[in-house]
Every structure is written in C-alpha cells, then in structure tokens.
Amino acid sequence: MPERKIYTSSRLWRKLKPQARAFRAEATPAETLLWEHLRMRRLEGVKFRRQHPIDRFVADFCGSEHKLVIELDGGIHESRHEEDSARQARFHELGFKVLRFANEEVIRDIEAVLAQIRNNLNRRKQLA
C-alpha cells in the first residue's frame, strides 16, 4: 500500500471539515458540472475529491494521487488575488500542480477544460 501523506493537521482538519461540507452544499453550477465529469474516477480513472482541505486551505478539486489541484474562479476571485496567490504558492510548496479555470470557461466549453485536465494528468503520470 502506498505511503499516505497528510497535508492538514488534525486541529486544522476539524476546523476546515465543516467549511468544506458547506462549500460542497453550496456548489456553483460550474463546480457541479465539472464534478459530474470527475466523480467516481470518470476521468482517466483518477480519484478526485471536491472541497478537500490541504494545509490551511480548501481546494475545489484534488487528485491527491497525481498531486493535481483544480481551482474554479468565479466573480469573488476578482477581489481575492492575494489570497488566491497564497493558496497557489502553498499548494506548489506541497508539490501540487494547480490548474485554474474560470466558471464561465467550464460552463461554455467543458470538453476543452477536460482535455486540459487529461493532458496534465498524463504528464504527471509520466513523471511518476
């Protein structure tokens, strides 16, 4: 069995778990659409989690096995550049590749978004 790495302390997990649940319950239409394509290993057989705590942040989608984080940006992100930069920097420090998509991009052209995710997954599989 592969080594399991823990990226969030138990104290932070207890704090972030209810927040992650709330985010899942209030998913945007773009998150719901993308989740339908990622859930149950539907994309390249990779297990994704949604609204998954990593360190002190909650990632929109996380493929832990391939260290891939997918973030969807809606209108609120226009005023949160510093926080988004800090999140992305921390994810990179932990070895995660971060893909960012605008909500509109997911809604408008889900196939192009899925193609980008597939390409990144395939590159990460080759590096492993």
Domain ranges, ordered by start, for the chain: 28-127
Q: Mean pLDDT in runs of 10 for the chain (128 residues)?
A: 66 90 94 98 97 95 96 74 90 96 97 98 84
The domain 28-127: what is its CATH number?
3.40.960.10
Is the separation of the CB atoms in 62 and 54 below 8 Å? yes
Q: What is the pLDDT, as a whole number, of residue 126?
A: 83
Give residue for tokens 């999140």: 87
What predicted TM-score, i.e. pTM, was given to this entire model? 0.88
Handedness of CA 42, 44, 46, 48 (dihedral sign): negative
pLDDT averaged over every residue in the chain: 90
pLDDT for the residue 124: 85
Please state, in angstroms and rounded to a whole number, the distance separating the CA atoms of residues 4 and 71: 23
